[in-house]
Amino acid sequence: MSVQREEACAALLRRARAIVDEQGTGDAALHQVKDLLVELANSGRTLFPEVDFAMPDAQGRNHILALEDGDGMGLYLTIGLPGKEAAPHDHGIWCVNAAISGREVHKFYRRTDDGSRDGFATVEEIDQVTVAPGQGMAMADHAIHATMVTGDEPAIGLALYGYALARFPSVVWFHPDLSSVRAGASRRAEAVQ
């Protein structure tokens, strides 16, 4: 990793940590973090040249850029090939994204059932944001979103999560057409040991 990129990513984590420690992870704080991430993503090919990051063999790939010590945040360069999509899901932790190149549509959902039946859930779409160069998105803990890479070029961007991917809580996946829900395994137990 280039020294300049490493320093820029470490500085982003420090600035994001200062915001979160002072203000928490409400909408206003995450918007500020998103603005920092968009600013870093705008460095584009200077700090993040494609030659430094392997393209995915299929659909998508994440490259670690910086991780906080302990149980802290994780910053990644993400690559999604055209057509890559993810069904509605809740990763259980806040997330901020910004684009270097390409376009990724994020659809946001609200759960409409009461959660009382195992395996059953209904959701409705409530918003949509396109993450493209100069634009980002922020979502709070337990927000539900789906993603789709649109256009004919890969979506290359930056993603900052409240925890590193290796320490994620259980990701909950929703299937709107079948009114079903399932939870993946949590990685939190390993993180707190």
pLDDT at 157 over 70: yes
What pLDDT does residue 80 have? Answer: 94
pLDDT at 193 over 60: no
Q: Output the six-digit token pair for 127.
A: 């918003």
pLDDT at 192 over 60: no
Question: Between the CA of residue 72 and those of 13, 121, 131, 165, 188, what are the distances in Å?
Answer: 10, 31, 25, 10, 12
How many angstroms separate the most distant Cα atoms in the chain?
51
pLDDT at 142 over 70: yes
What pLDDT does residue 190 have? Answer: 61
Q: Can you tell me the distance from the alpha carbon of 40 to that of 93, in angstroms, rounded to the nearest whole number?
A: 22
Range of the domain at 85: 3-191
Burial of 69-105, coded b for 16+ CB within 10 Å and e otherwise, reads: eeebbbbbbbbbbeebebebbbbbbbbbbbbbbbbbb
DSSP code of 24? -
Give the tens place of pLDDT for each residue, 113-130.
Answer: 999 999 999 999 999 999
pLDDT tier at 191 (50, 70, 90 boundaries)? low
Average pLDDT along the chain: 92
Give the tens place of pLDDT for each residue, 61-108.
Answer: 889 999 998 889 999 999 999 999 999 999 999 999 999 999 999 999
What contacts 3, CB < 8 A, 6 or more positions away? none
Q: Which whole number is the average pLDDT over 171-179? A: 91
Q: Can you tell me the distance from the alpha carbon of 47 to that of 36, in angstroms, rounded to the nearest whole number?
A: 15
Q: Which whole number is the average pLDDT over 11-25? A: 97
Contact 87, 21 (CB under 8 A): no
pLDDT tier at 189 (50, 70, 90 boundaries)? low
Q: Can you tell me whether residue 113 is helix, strand or coil?
A: coil
Q: What is the CATH number of the domain that holds 34?
A: 2.60.120.10
Q: Which whole number is the average pLDDT over 145-164? A: 95
103 DSSP β-pair partners: 150
Q: Can you tell me the distance from the alpha carbon of 83 to that of 37, in angstroms, rounded to the nearest whole number?
A: 24
Q: Can you tell me the distance from the alpha carbon of 122 to that of 109, in angstroms, rounded to the nearest whole number?
A: 10
Contact 140, 95 (CB under 8 A): no
Q: Which whole number is the average pLDDT over 160-170? A: 89
How many domains would you assign to the chain?
Answer: 1
